[in-house]
Amino acid sequence: MKILLYKNSIGNLYYKSKFNQNKIKNLICGQHNCSKGRNSRGIITVKHRGGGHKRLYRQIDFRRNYKDISGRIITIEHDPNRNSYICLIHYIDGEKRYILHPRGAIVGDNVVSGSEVTLFLGNALPLSTNILLGMSIHNIEIKHGKGGQLARAAGTLAKLIAKENKLATLRLPSGEVRFISNKCLATVGQVGNADVNQKILVRAGSKRWLGKRPAVRGVVMNPVDHPHGGGEGKAPIGRKKPVTPWGYSTLGKKSRKKNKYSNNLIIQK
């Protein structure tokens, strides 16, 4: 099978085979993307979103619940919905699924999910098994069976620090140290496309293709539009700490709620 190296519109390199020209219909579907950062009442709740190129959604297997059946990496593709690459897996019995691309995995490698699998790149297994302390893992479940929710972005990884009773201690990419149930699945290795932060968009249009609209600083607005606005010429914000357009503290103020059910599982923030 011929593997080709492509460059997408924003300069990312990705691999693609001729097989991928025939889309996997049950894994790729359309999505309705016209919210533009607005809620159900039409009010903008997330700024600087809108426009962008149309995208097809690739259904990623975050659960890795196809147990004890070996699969082969057929392609390594660019996914417009995330900054990491994805792999198309063909299992022995004919099942086809997408997974996140583990850094270092190549076309032709075999991956498998289960409780008694080897520690090879891309294999998924519970934290209670033979995952070694200090090993890099990604796509980690918070609740058993819900699917991976932690360490899924490009280049991210978590470290297994300790195992005790029914809990495992992890250091997450944010630096947070927390407990996770030993039953939760994790994938061996680091997420691929670790150099995503070094990409250069070159021109403003590249950012608009991604669905990101221009941002305007509050200090250049009028006082009626933003608390930082007003003044003659280039003026400071006029207060000790920066605030949002509605007067709430920002840039450093913690917004996490105190009554989170998972706060008891967090050791270090």
pLDDT at 195: 92
Q: Read out DSSP for the chain? A: --EEEEE-TTS-EEEEEGGGGS--TTTEEE-----TTB-TTS-BSS-SB------EEE-B--S---BT--EEEEEEE--TTSSS-EEEEEETTS-EEEEEPBTT--TT-EE-BSSS----TT-EEETTSSPPTT-EEESEESSTTT-EEES-STT--EEEEEEETTEEEEE-TTS-EEEEETT-EEEES-BS-GGGGG----SHHHHHHTTB-----GGGS-TTT-TT--SSSS---SSSS-B-TTS-B-SS-----TT-GGGGGEEE-
pLDDT at 5: 54
Residue 203 domain flag: no
Q: Are residues 47 and 166 in the same domain?
A: yes
Instruction: For residue 26, give the CATH number of its domain.
Output: 2.40.50.140
* In the predicted structure, residue 8 carries a pLDDT above the cut 90: no
Q: Are residues 75 and 111 in the same domain?
A: yes
Residue 97 domain flag: yes
The structural domain count of the chain equals: 2
Q: Are residues 33 and 107 in the same domain?
A: yes
List pLDDT tens digits, range 22-64.
Answer: 458 889 998 876 778 999 899 999 999 999 999 999 999 999 9
Q: Are residues 95 and 137 in the same domain?
A: yes
List pLDDT tens digits, range 73-123.
Answer: 999 999 999 999 999 999 999 999 999 999 999 999 999 999 989 999 999
* In the predicted structure, residue 20 carries a pLDDT above the cut 70: no
Instruction: For residue 222, give the CATH number of its domain.
Output: 4.10.950.10
List pLDDT tens digits, range 148-157.
Answer: 999 999 999 9
pLDDT at 2: 45
Q: Are residues 110 and 7 in the same domain?
A: yes
Domain that holds residue 265: 216-269
Q: Are residues 144 and 240 in the same domain?
A: no
Q: Are residues 267 and 138 in the same domain?
A: no
List pLDDT tens digits, range 162-205.
Answer: 998 899 999 999 999 999 999 999 999 999 999 999 989 999 99
> Out of 80-89, 138-147, 246-255, which region has the weakest mean confidence (pLDDT)?
246-255
Q: Are residues 159 and 41 in the same domain?
A: yes
Q: Are residues 67 and 137 in the same domain?
A: yes
